[in-house]
């Protein structure tokens, strides 16, 4: 499990778990998340970003129970497995479609009522004209529709799929891939002749500590070359004045 530090533009591993290769990723991630929450009781796990291997109803239900916003792309194999049977038309991203056939505009997540607010695309200025304006709503505010994650947690996520916020958060998922790259390639763990789970766990921990140290150096803006030159200069002055 990895978190991304926006200030430092750094990928930070926060929990490591070594499992057998045949084990399904969707199972491993939930087990790891449960253990990480127990390990860091003071941490706030606000979002869970995973790939489509985690696109299943039990995972969404569990994340909602833990008040964690899921950022999970829909798995094409699960297409059509919707629990929502409402009268409002919904597109594949869980966004309500208005009478004119246009996706409605996301207007925020109402945490107190656990529901998502959607507004008319014409009233919000997303489109210049609408032939269904008079049929749909006479209000200048436009028609408003609410959806709830409880209707179908896969479709009605707190951060709607396709929204700018969802896309921005989804980009951070590559953080875990970059940490894997650092462990396996930069620290040459993949080339090592280490055998046994305990030895692998040891070296993965050591390399992860190094990744944390890199972030700390970045935070402190420490420059080894500058510090080395200052040390040389001070050493020369010491010898000159004591010669």
Asked if residue 6 has pLDDT above 70, the reply is yes
Look at residue 135 and tell me if it is in a domain: no
Q: Say if residues 130 and 114 touch (Cβ distance below 8 Å).
A: no
- 183-190 own/partner pairs: CB under 8 Å, 24+ apart: 183/207, 183/208
What pLDDT shows up at residue 96? 87
Q: What is the mean pLDDT of residues 54-74?
A: 91
Query: CA 164: distance to chain centroid?
Result: 13
Q: Does the predicted model carry a pTM greater than 0.75?
A: no
Least confident of 39-48, 64-73, 190-199, 201-210: 190-199
Q: Check: CB of residue 161 under 8 Å from CB of residue 74.
A: yes
Structural domain includes residue 20: yes
pLDDT at 132: 82
**Domain residues for 204?**
2-78+188-220
Return all residues near 209 (Cβ < 8 A) that are at least 6 apart: none
Q: Does 237 fall in a domain?
A: no
Assigned domain for 57 exists:
yes
Dihedral, CA of residue 15, residue 16, residue 21 and residue 24, to nearest 10: -20
Q: For 180-228, how does the pLDDT look when each residue is reduced to its tens digit (9 = 90+)?
A: 899 888 888 888 777 788 888 888 899 999 999 888 888 887 776 776 6
Tokens describing residue 59: 């995972």
**Among candidates 182, 185, 161, which has minimal Cα distance to 90?**
161
Residue 97 lies in a domain: no
Domain count, the chain: 1
pLDDT at position 40 is 93
Residue 32 maps to a domain: yes
**Strand pairing report for 47-49 and 69-71:** parallel
Is the per-residue pLDDT at 158 higher than 90? no
pLDDT at 116: 87
Q: Is residue 201 part of a domain?
A: yes
Phi, psi of 145, rounded to the nearest 5 degrees: -125, 145
Q: Confidence class of residue 13 from pLDDT cuts 50, 70 and 90?
A: very high
pLDDT in tens, 80-120: 555 555 567 888 788 888 888 888 898 888 888 888 899 88
Give the pLDDT confidence score for residue 87 in this predicted structure. 60
> Which ranges in the chain belong to alpha helices (H)?
25-39, 57-65, 133-136, 164-170, 174-181, 197-220, 224-242
């Amino acid at each position: 499990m990895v978190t991304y530090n926006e200030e430092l533009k750094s990928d930070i591993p926060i929990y490591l778990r070594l499992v057998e290769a045949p084990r399904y990723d969707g199972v491993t991630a939930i087990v790891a998340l449960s253990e990480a929450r127990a390990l860091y009781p003071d941490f706030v796990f606000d979002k869970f970003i995973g790939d489509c291997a985690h696109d299943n109803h039990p995972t969404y239900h569990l994340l909602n129970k833990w008040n964690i916003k899921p950022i999970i792309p829909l798995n094409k194999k699960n297409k059509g497995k919707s629990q929502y049977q409402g009268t409002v038309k919904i597109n594949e991203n869980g966004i309500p479609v208005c009478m004119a056939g246009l996706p409605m505009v996301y207007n925020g997540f109402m945490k107190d009522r656990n529901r998502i607010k959607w507004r008319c695309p014409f009233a919000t200025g997303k489109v210049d004209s609408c032939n269904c304006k008079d049929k749909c709503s006479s209000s200048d505010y436009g028609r408003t529709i609410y959806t709830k994650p409880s209707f179908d947690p896969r479709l009605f996520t707190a951060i709607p799929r396709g929204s700018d916020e969802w896309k921005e958060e989804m980009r951070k998922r590559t953080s875990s891939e970059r940490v894997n790259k650092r462990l396996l390639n930069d620290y040459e763990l993949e080339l090592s002749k280490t055998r046994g789970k305990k030895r692998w766990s040891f070296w993965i921990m050591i390399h992860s500590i190094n990744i944390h140290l890199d972030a700390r150096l970045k935070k402190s803006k420490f420059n080894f070359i500058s510090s080395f030159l200052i040390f040389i200069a001070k050493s020369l002055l010491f010898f000159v004045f004591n010669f």
